[in-house]
Structure 1
């Protein structure tokens, strides 16, 4: 009976991590929707919802510590608990990045850089996080490697997007009639777009981290961690 209870706790940990990922992905999706629609109400929903993500993270941290301290797991069980804890850290940071996107939405007051498809980049990052969590749920080694490979494409798209923004800035004509506030608004737009691209790229990095920890959990293989 004690061993059954222990296995139930391990299963509960995995399920709780998957639930946290669902909450985080929902926040990320809402943040992108708010950005696309300039919806301040939804943006605030994401910002205020970050407390829930933080609370989930702390609860899971305590869950992992209890399993480590009270059950003294070894081998595969130990890797499951340690990897789960690291994955929750990445999920919490994805939640923070979603909050950043929502805050950028509140600061934006005009459309800029239509040639940069933020929604497409954002959709890719959501898919990567979801697929990484599926790999964690199913102990899918092949999927872990696939996610790491897809991150190279995401990085390249983000690099091209940033270059587009900088090229547009260089080509923008600022004449003597431009007011100081106009110039400041332009620079704020550039900064906000570059930060948006950077944060989405980081979401992809966290998806790779999840895949790396899953690979280690399943096969004790640290290839993707370094």
Structure 2
């Protein structure tokens, strides 16, 4: 493989990884919009679209393997390919979590926790993923550390949201006279909300993972990875 062709393939790899991130963040945004509007059609579009995300992942995985096998890259090129491979794994998992959010929309029966601003938390996670991918595109190490720092705030917001849900459950009057058909929907909604918060927190973790791999790619520094 000629060197110029090889460099073109590396550039194409990065471009394709960025395209995958756009697809994934679009699906995440759609999942949150579907949840806000209780739109089953949008939820199904996200769920059905997960196959596309999975196929993008498999195609890019093949590209990474081909680049490693055909050129035996060293130093910076090797770190670029290895980091890109890890990043597409995080993106694929974010796609899975977006599909989870869409499934929760299909299961939702009523709004019980208006004081928990899921949309605001979701907007933060989308921004973190987009910023992490911008940092990957621009080799911006400072931005990567800034994203990692913001994850502490996201974790705190998710913790407080979960505590609010549990406090509301504890304060709900349930006794022996409460019918089972009242208790079961309540518990389902509590579970759905806790799972939603958990999955949004995990998306933030994946944004940090992407940032960590970018730092490694640019500076051969694994500080954020461990």
Identify the TM-score tier after normalising by the shorter chain.
Answer: over 0.9
Question: Shift in Å at residue 155 of structure 1?
Answer: 0.2
Say if 2:195 is the partner of 1:195. Answer: yes
Say if 2:82 is the partner of 1:82. Answer: yes
Question: Shift in Å at residue 125 of structure 1?
Answer: 0.1
Encode CA deviations 1:95-141: one digit per residue, 9 max, x unaligned: 00000000000000111100000000000000000000000000000
Q: Gapped runs of 5+ residues in structure 1?
A: none
> What is the correspondence of 1:1-226 to structure 2 with a 5 Å cutoff?
2-226=2-226
Distance 2:112 2:57 in 1: 35
Distance 2:85 2:181 in 1: 47
Distance 1:89 1:162 in 2: 27
TM-score, normalised relative to structure 1: 0.99
Flag as ranges the 4+ runs of structure 1 deviating above 6 A.
none
Distance 1:12 1:112 in 2: 47
Question: Shift in Å at residue 196 of structure 1?
Answer: 0.2
Question: Shift in Å at residue 70 of structure 1?
Answer: 0.4
Question: Shift in Å at residue 181 of structure 1?
Answer: 1.5
Distance 1:176 1:111 in 2: 25
Distance 2:72 2:48 in 1: 37
Distance 1:145 1:111 in 2: 36
Distance 1:68 1:146 in 2: 31
SS at 2:65 equivalent = helix
SS at 1:99 equivalent = helix
Distance 2:205 2:175 in 1: 40
Q: Gapped runs of 5+ residues in structure 2?
A: none
SS at 1:106 equivalent = helix
